[in-house]
Structure formats: structure tokens, C-alpha cells
Structure 1
Amino acid sequence: MVPHLVTALNGPINELEARVLESMPAIERWFRLEWMEHTPPFYTSVDIRNAGFKLAPVETNLFPGGWNNLTEDMLPLAVQAAMAAIEKICPEAKNLLLIPGQDTRNSFYMTNVARLRRIFMLAGLNVRLGTLDPAITESVSIDLPDGDQITVEPLVRTERRLGLKNFDPCTILLNNELSAGIPGMLEDLHEQYLLPPLHAGGSVRRKANHFQSYEEVAKKFAKLLGMDPWLINPMYASCGDVDVGEGASLEAVKAGADALLGKIRRKYKEYGINEKPFVVVKADSGASGLGSMTVRDAKELDALDRRRRDLSALAGSGPQVCRMLVQEGVPTYERMNDAVAEPVVYMMDRYVVGGFYRIHADRGVDENLNAPGARFVPLAFAQSHHLPRPGVKPGASAPNRFYMYGVVARLAMLAASYELEATDPDAEVYD
């Protein structure tokens, strides 16, 4: 199912689509060479916004849930990608320990876990589920809405390894973002592969690091195609630490928002875009519950100031500090049944395996759609991503548009690879 595109997608996006399709051999070779030098994250999902004049990633998730939102048609490609990923990491792999998030009562999320378990079982692995929840001290069976059933077991930690009772895995896959911090149980494992690595966890990972890496990737890719990297790159400003109870410390966020809005206005003028720009203010890590705020004028941040003071008072623990990020707002002009939509692309290893449209009838083109009330319409990238149609009029072919999504998503995945390499605490540093 393809949503109705409100805009005709004229101008830069159509020009970019034509250039990408013309450059397919060079693009795919470029990706191959990059993956010779860098290791892709084990799995990734990327939220993409299509503004008609710009196509850019706005979030890159290294612990993607929502696998149950993908169509069954994606399973063969996902299984093949899982096989490729496991063969690179642990060719003799037999047992895989999958650690989900602790919200085992969320049947929607656990259906996602069941889909992941199925993918890796079809890839030839024995898969069992272990939980970090200390309240679970014995095996618990969970019935799912689709009639499936999964069993979650308490983890067993020895001095050197992590597993389950009578189950010793060589590979441990986290589907838990670890936003609340890194449990000691996951540290100092011996000869076991932990995926993704601990420094990808939400409590330590910084969005600013990711978008800095993405900016580097976008510039390389833009040079390859002879284009303006801004067409695929959301500008951003890191505001550093902000005290939730200190109004003066919010001035750095206001200054960052004001400067970034000025840069966007200049770009809009350059491309003849007659829209009012906006930025999105959000926590720089995944650990904060403050969400995000759409801002068209830095003065609007006074409302955020009041909100943060209220949250600090509710917490009752005095000043709280978190890092803040201001990101260029990219509107989405894709719609399905009059509801605003955005594509989300899923990848395993370096392969695009599927995706869906996130749809929200109560949100605007400039708002975050990843919110309660969102719906999901699956897209099968297995054929459309790999079979674009060069020569077809830009904007007229769904496979071409999906290929574009896949290219931008892979750029974000490559940026995540750069990011994880740069932030690896165990990496050797050479003078």
C-alpha cells in the first residue's frame, strides 16, 4: 500500500531521485567499499521525513522494536540478513540469548520479540529469552494476541558468562535500550558477543554524536553525487547540559534554536521554499522522559522552561541535569487516508529488510508521529527496494521512492557505525 503524496514532490527531491537512480552502480559500490572499512550495527531502524524539498533521517534506533509491524513478506530477506550477520560474528553459533525490555505485560511489544525469535530460529539458531527483571525468578509463559506463546526466563550470571539454566549462548542480543543504565550483569562477559555493544545503550549514547557522524557521511555521499548535502542532512546544534530547575541554563538552548532557525531560513531562501522553518528540541540521550518540542521561534522555549521546572518540582530531588539537542525540523508531506505519515526503514547487518509507514491522524506535518495513537502500515521492501526502475518519471514509481528511502536509511546506518567506532571505550587510540 502506498500513501497518497499531498505534494507533487517537485524540485529538489525529484532531482535527487533522478540523480540517485542514474548513479545506482556508483552508490552501491560506494556502500560496498564503506562496509569493507566499517562494521554495520547488528540491526537498525531509521525514521525518515519526506518534505518534498528534503529527504532526511530524524531518528536512528539501534535497539529497534516494532518488528511485528513489518509484513510477512519481509521474513525471507530478514532471515538471510540474520544468517549473514551471525556468520560474521560467530560462524559456529548455536545458541542465541535474546534479552527483551522489561515490559513483558505489553503484548504489542512482546509480539515484536516473538517475531525476532522466529527470524533467528529460521536462521538456524536455538533461541531463548532471558529477562533483566529481578521480579521474574522462574520461567513465565506469555500468551500473545495472535495465538503465539513465548517463554521468558530469569538470567543466570556466572563469574565469566551470562545465560539461562542449562543454556550457554555464544551470542547475546539486546532488544532493550538500557535507558535506565547499564546493569552490572551485562558487564565483563568472557568470550560472548553482546549485541549491540553497551556503549550503544540509551543512558550513554548521544544523539549529537550520531548526527555529527551522519553529517560526515552525508558530505561524502553528496560529493559522490555532486549535490548539496543539506538535501539529505538535518542540521543540528548540541546545547550541552541543561539544568531542569535553572531558567538561566536554558539560554544556551534558546541561542542554539535561534541560530539554527537562521541557518534554515537561509537555506529555504536559497531553494525558494515558502514555508516557516522550525526546529525540534529534545534530550540528547534516550534516557529522558521529556519528549520533544516543536519550536518556530526561540521565545516558545519559555514554555519548555516552565515545563521543566514543574518536572523538577515533581521529582523532589533538587536540580537535574540533562543534555539537550536542537535539530532542524523536517516536515512530512506524506499522507495516508488524510493522516500524516512517515516511513520507517528496518535493516539487519547492512541490508534493508523492510519497513512501514507510521501514521498519526492527530498530529501535524511538523510534529513527532512516534506518540500514542500512531498506527502502522507495513511496506515490503524485499522487492521494491532492490528493483528500482531507472528512467521512470521521478515521483511516479513506488519502487524508486522506496529505493530512495533505503539509500537514506543506509546512510544513517553507516553513520551509526562511524558513531559506535568513535565512542567505543575499548578502542585503541593512536597518536
Structure 2
Amino acid sequence: MVPHLITALNGPINELEARILESMPATERWFRLEWMEHTPTFYASVDLRNAGFKLAPVDTNLFPTGFNHLTAPMLPQAVQAGMAAIEKICPEARNLLLIPEPGKRCSFYLDHLAILVRIFTQAGLNVRLGALDPAQTEPEELALAGGGSLVIEPVVRKRGRLMIKGFDPCTILLNCDLAAGTPPQLMGLHEQYLLPPLHAGWSVRRKSQHFRAYDEVAKRFAKLLGMDPWLITPMFQGVDLQGKHGLEALQTAADAQLTKVRRKYKEYGINERPFVIIKSDVGSYGRGVMTVRDGKDIETLAERLPENLGQEVIVQEGVPTHERVHEAVAEPVVYTMDRYVVGGFYRVHANRGIDENLNAPGASFVPLAFAESPHLPRPGEKPGASAPNRFYMYGVIGRLAMLAASYELEATDPQAEAEEAA
């Protein structure tokens, strides 16, 4: 069943959708060649914003939660993608150790973990959940809201390998974002594959690095299709708030971004008031995200900036969302595994505006439920008229963000940097 959805698919985005559909063979070949050169991130979720005149990613999470929001018909694709990913990494894999976020025990997250266990079990793996917390010395059984339970067991380290008593995995899947730093148990593992790699954690990773990589990917893809990369790219600038001129640098960056957006709006005849989003340059779970329409407004936020955002921030072009689900503001979120789109949902917030962050308390989730597969678009139909076409377009932009994450991790790989220095 297709959710009741209202979308402002008019103006340039009609041309964008038509261009992507017409270029589908070239697009798929381009992705295929890219994946021959670059290793996809194991899994990811990508937040998109559809403004009606542009469609762009605004966040890419390499430790995604929310797999419980995917519909049952989406799971076979996830199982197949999981099989493909594991076969490339460790073809003889038998055991998978899944490391959840420490201390996170809410029902939604447990349901998410249960879906991950189901996916990888059906992909042919024995899956166990391991706790990194040294204070946990006994298995902990946790009830699921819909019935059944999960058991999280203490991990031990022996001979340089991370394991559970009687369970020695060749692959360790992290579902914790390492924002607090890298646990010593995960360092220097002996002949075990760690997914994602440690430098994907938020103690190392920066959003500005990701969007620099995305700029590169989007420009190359836009050149292939003969279009303006701005239609699929949010402009941005990283700012360091440390020092006495930090606030001034933030105001300057905000005004510079607003000026660039105004020029683009004028070029495309867009009658909207531009805004920028100021947020932490590291993972912040949606906290402290601020909407600014004038650099002068930052003065009134000055006291709250370091507390909410830390010292490193990103000033990103605000992409309004003109999609609604049941009259509430909505944004699509695309889920990927290996190089495949495996599903997604709409994040919906009845109390937020089109220019605000929707990843906030009070958000609800509506699966991207549709009667026909998003992998089978209808190129002959009028742009904006077909849900499969729209979802295919979401998948293309989601895969561009996933490819950018691959570029990003390659560029920040400490082992590659060490080899280059040597």
C-alpha cells in the first residue's frame, strides 16, 4: 500500500527525474564500474530532502539503526545483499558477532537488532550479540515488544581475537558508532574482519569529509548526465568554533552559504527564502541542529553553540522538504547494504516545518511501502507520476551518498596513510 503522499515534484526536479530515467543504462553501468574500483560501505542509511526543485542527501549514517522500520517484502533484498557482502569479505564465514550500542535498551532499538539478527541468520550465519562493557559479566536476556527475546553476552579477548565463550567469529559487525572513542578490545584484532572499520566511527569521522567526497561523486555523476550538480548536492562549509574569532567565522560562513543559495534560487527562478543548517561536524543524533536565515541570527544563539554542537560544526545549505505523509512534514530515508538499496521509510514529524530537522523527539516512521519494486522504474511515464520512478530516484541519490562514503573511508584510512608515508 502506498502511503498518502503529497510531493512538490515540479520545475527542475521533473527534468532531473526524466534525465535519470532516460539515462538508467548509463547510470547503472557507471555505478557498476565505480564498485569495481571502490569497496562499498557494509551498510548505511541516507537522509534525503526533496525540495521539489532539488533532491539531495543531508546526512549519511554508517552505523544505521531503524532496520525494524523496513517492511517484510524488503527483507529478502536485505538478505541477498548481506550474502553478497559477506561472500566478498569472508566467503567461508560461519559466525558473525554483532556489537550493539552500549547501554541502549529501548524497544525500538531491540526490534532493530532482532531484524539484523534475522537478516544475517537467513544469509547463512550464526549470529550472537556481544557487549563490550567490561562491567557485564553474564548473559543478559532482553524481551522484545512483539514477543521473543534477545540475549546479549559479554565478549572476551583471546589470542588477539574478540569472541564470546564458545563462539569465535571471523567477522564482527559494529552497530555502535564509537562516538566515545575506540574501545581497546577492538584494536589490533588478529585475522578478524571488523565492519565498518574503526575510522568510520564518530570519534574520527567528520561530516565535512563526507560531503567533500560527495561533492566529487556528484560532479562526476552530473557530468555523465549533463546536468547541474547543485540539483543533487547540498552546499556546505566546515567551521572551527575554537578561538575568539570562532563566532565571527561561523557568521561569515553562514552569510557566504546564503549568498550562494540566493544566486542559485535566482538562476532557477525559485521563489523561496534560503536558509542554512548549522550542526555538529560529528554524529549528534539530531541534537543541536539549528536553522539560520541570516548570519546576524547567530549572535542570539552564541551562548548555546558550543554546548549543543561542540567546537567543530558544519554550515550546510538548507534543503526544504515539500513532501507530506498524512499532512505531516516528511523526508525519505534510504537504507543500503553492500552496493544495494534494500529499503527505506519516511521520517515524519507533525510538529516540525519544512525547514527544520525532522530527526527529533516526536518523529514517526512510515515505510516506503509500494505496490511495485523501486528497482523496476517506468521510464515512459510522466515525471512525478509514478511511485516506483520516485523511489528509483531516491535510490540513485542514496547510492551516490554510499559511494561518497566509500571515497571518504579510503581517503581517511590510517593504514593507507601509513603505507603512503612509508
Q: Same fold (TM over 0.5)?
A: yes
Q: Distance in 2 between matches of 1:382 and 1:150?
A: 32
Deviation at 1:38, TM superposition (A): 0.2
Alignment of 1:197-208 (within 5 A): 197-208=197-208
Q: TM-score, normalised by structure 2?
A: 0.96
Write the distance in 2 (CA, Å) between the matches of 1:41 and 1:357: 22
Distance 1:67 1:405, change over 3 A: same
Matches within 5 A, 1:155-174: 155-174=155-174
1:108 Cα deviation from its structure 2 partner: 1.0
User: What is the CA-CA distance between 1:137 and the residue it aligns to?
Assistant: 1.3
Q: Which residue of 2 aligns with 1:87?
A: 87
The corresponding residue for 2:367 is 378
Gapped regions of structure 1 (runs ≥ 5): 313-319
Q: Summarize deviations over 1:191-219 as a string: whole Å, max 9, x none.
A: 00000000000111000000000000000
Residue 286 (structure 1) aligned with residue 283 (structure 2)? yes
Indicate yes or no: 2:420 matched with 1:429: yes
After TM superposition, the score normalised by the length of structure 1 is 0.94
Shift of 1:330: 0.3
Q: What is the alpha-carbon distance in structure 1 between the residues aligned to residue 110 and residue 74 of structure 2?
A: 19
1:229 aligns with 2:229: yes
From the superposition, tell whether residues 2 and 101 of structure 1 become closer, same or farther in structure 2 (CA, over 3 Å). Answer: same
Q: Which residue of the partner structure matches residue 399 of structure 1? A: 388
Residue 333 (structure 1) aligned to one of 299, 303, 322: 322
**CA shift digits 1:135-174 (9 cap, x unpaired):** 3210000001010210000110124110111110000000
Shift of 1:89: 0.1
User: Is structure 2 residue 417 aligned with structure 1 residue 418?
Assistant: no
Please name the residue that 1:271 is paired with.
268
Question: 2:196 corresponds to which letter in structure 1?
Answer: P
* 2:93–2:125 CA contact under 8 A, matched in 1: yes
Cα displacement (A) at 1:287: 5.5
Q: Report the equivalent of 1:359.
A: 348
Query: Is the 2:348–2:365 contact (alpha carbons within 8 Å) kept by the matching residues of 1?
Result: yes
Partner of 1:20: 20
Deviation at residue 289 of structure 1 after TM alignment: 8.1
Letter aligned with residue 242 of structure 1 = L
2:331 pairs, out of 342, 346, 353, with: 342
| Structure 1 position 383, deviation (Å) | 4.7
Displacement of 1:55 after TM fit? Answer: 0.2
Aligned to 2:154: 154
Asked if the contact 1:344/1:355 (under 8 Å) is kept, the reply is yes
- 1:172 alignment partner, SS class: strand
Cα contact 1:50–1:333 (8 A) shared by 2: yes
Q: Deviations over 1:334-366 (max 9, x none)?
A: 001110000000010000010000000000000
Q: Give the AA of the match of 2:181.
A: G
Q: Does 1:242 align with 2:213?
A: no
Paired residue for 1:211?
211
The answer to which of 170-179 and 296-305 deviates more is 296-305
Partners of 2:144 and 2:210 in 1: how far apart? Answer: 35
Amino acid of the residue matched to residue 66 of structure 1? G
Query: Does structure 1 residue 5 correspond to structure 2 residue 2?
Result: no
Q: Which of 100-109 and 268-277 deviates more?
A: 100-109
Paired position in structure 2 for 1:178: 178
Shift of 1:281: 0.5
Aligned length: 419
Q: For 1:220 and 1:334, locate their aligned partners in 2 and report how far apart those are by CA, in whole Å.
A: 28
CA distance in 2 between counterparts of 1:87 and 1:290 reads 37
Cα offset for 1:4? 2.4
Q: Which residue of 2 aligns with 1:316?
A: none
Deviations 1:263-314 (A, max 9, x none): 00000000000111000001111169852100000111123212136x49xx
Is 1:257–2:254 an aligned residue pair? yes
- In structure 1, the residue matched to 2:125 is 125
Q: Deviations over 1:243-272 (max 9, x none)?
A: 3xx664211111111101000000000000
Alignment root-mean-square deviation, CA: 1.7
Query: CA separation of 1:230/1:296 partners in 2, compared to 1, >3 Å: closer, same or farther?
Result: same
Contact 1:247 1:305 in 2 (8 A): no
Distance 1:397 1:11 in 2: 16
* Contact 1:170-1:193 within 8 A present in 2 as well: yes
Report the alpha carbon displacement of residue 133 of structure 1 after superposing the two structures with TM. Answer: 2.3
Task: Give secondary structure in 2 for the equivalent of 1:426.
Answer: helix
- DSSP 3-state at the match of 1:429: helix
Q: Does the 8 Å contact 1:90/1:171 carry over to 2?
A: yes
Secondary structure, in 3 states, of the residue corresponding to 2:415?
Answer: coil
1:296 to 2:297 alignment: no
Q: Cα–Cα, structure 1 residues 283 and 334, in superposed 2: closer, same or farther, change >3 Å?
A: same
Output the amino acid matched with 1:298: G
Poorly superposed stretches of 4+, deviation over 3 Å: 287-290, 380-383
Q: Is the 8 A contact 1:171 1:192 kept in 2?
A: yes
Amino acid at match of 1:167: F
* TM-fit CA distance, 1:380: 4.5
Structure 2 residue 391 is the aligned partner of structure 1 residue 390: no
Q: Distance in 1 between the 2:314 and 2:208 partners?
A: 7
User: What is aligned with 2:98?
Assistant: 98
* Structure 2 unaligned regions, length at least 5: none
Deviation of 1:2 after TM superposition, in Å, equals: 3.3
Q: Distance in 1 between matches of 2:371 and 2:157?
A: 39
How many angstroms does 1:370 deviate by?
0.6
Distance 1:190 1:301, change over 3 A: same
Bigger drift between 129-138 and 261-270 goes to 129-138
AA of the residue aligned to 1:279: V
